[in-house]
């Protein structure tokens, strides 16, 4: 999936509907370029992006993650499994005021 010059604002994923990803649930290759994720909310993991264990390559460039929140973990980005083997590259991106009640506010590798 390629996402360019996009805005994801005030998206909400309800508990019991999805494990996470207020804006995106990724199960493959993901490229995010010059995009903004603002005030997205989710119950479980990844206020903005939830990366499933089937992901292969994840690249995030020149993007902003602001005020995303989650009840459990990974305020902005959550990867589902500690055995996660995808190649992840994040360059030129900002993480500001992302919140998780249980742990890491920005990024959690489950």
Cite the beta strand spans of the chain per DSSP E: 2-4, 7-9, 12-13, 24-26, 30-33, 36-38, 41-42, 49-51, 57-61, 64-66, 69-70, 77-79, 87-91, 94-96, 99-100, 107-109
pLDDT value at residue 25: 84
Q: What is the pTM of this model?
A: 0.88
pLDDT value at residue 83: 55
- Quote the percentage of the chain above a pLDDT of 90: 38
Of 3-12, 13-22, 67-76, the least confident? 13-22
Q: Within a 10 A sphere around the Cβ of 26, how many other Cβ atoms? A: 22
pLDDT value at residue 15: 66
């Amino acid at each position: 999936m390629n996402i360019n010059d996009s805005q994801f604002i005030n998206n909400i994923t309800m508990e019991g509907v999805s494990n996470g990803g207020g804006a995106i649930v990724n199960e493959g290759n993901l490229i995010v370029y010059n995009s903004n994720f603002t005030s997205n909310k989710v119950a479980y993991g990844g206020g903005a992006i939830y990366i499933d264990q089937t992901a292969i390559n994840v690249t995030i460039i020149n993007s902003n993650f602001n005020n995303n929140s989650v009840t459990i973990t990974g305020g902005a980005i959550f990867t589902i499994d500690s055995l996660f083997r995808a190649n992840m590259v994040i360059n030129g991106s900002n993480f500001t005021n992302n919140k998780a009640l249980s742990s890491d506010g920005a990024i959690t590798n489950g």
